[in-house]
Amino acid sequence: MHLKDKNVILGICGGIAAYKTCDIIRQLVKLQANVECILTKSGANFITSLTLQTLSKNKVHQNMFESIGTYDINHISLAKKADIVVIAPATADIIARLAVGRADDLLSCTVLTSKAKILICPAMNSDMLSHKAVCNNMETLKNYGYSFVMPESGELACGDYGSGRLAKVEDIVSFVIKQLN
């Protein structure tokens, strides 16, 4: 199984599970996928762009208005390049912003512009995950045609036990493989 010539745009939001994206990147690169990361401002509190760049072997995108040296609108070019956009971890915030079409950062603009498959991998506290607003927002995104790899149960970073842990890396990568082959 390989993903040669496939472009994966990986959005990393602000949650403790951001460290698991390193393994996602590693596995996708091993399958010969081209992985480009969009690191949100809150995601940068949990993982560095240097780590993501080293693993993906690509520049990490963070600023929507960054000058990249040539005429190119960052969110448009990333959206057009993508075969799939994966958001892992997906926070309640990004899920809410996408559900209402709010485009105020590079990741949300890229997703809303893209015609690629969109995979949302939520990770958050179990009480937040089960909140009616979050559930309604996820249903809205499913109605838009977005796919989900739902979190698993276990001990959460806060010490609680419940659903909300980012899905297993293997499950996320398997979903990407199925979608792109």
Residue numbers annotated as active site: 158
Run of H or E including 86: strand 84-90
How does 157-170 read in b/e, with b if 16+ C-beta sit within 10 Å?
A: eeeeebbbbbbebe
Q: Which DSSP category does 158 fall into?
A: T
Q: Which amino acid is at 173?
A: V
Helix axes 92-99, 132-143, angle to 10 degrees: 50
Please report, as a single letter, which amino acid is at residue 174.
S
Distance CA 175, CA 169 (A): 10
Q: How far is CA 85 from the centre of its chain?
A: 7
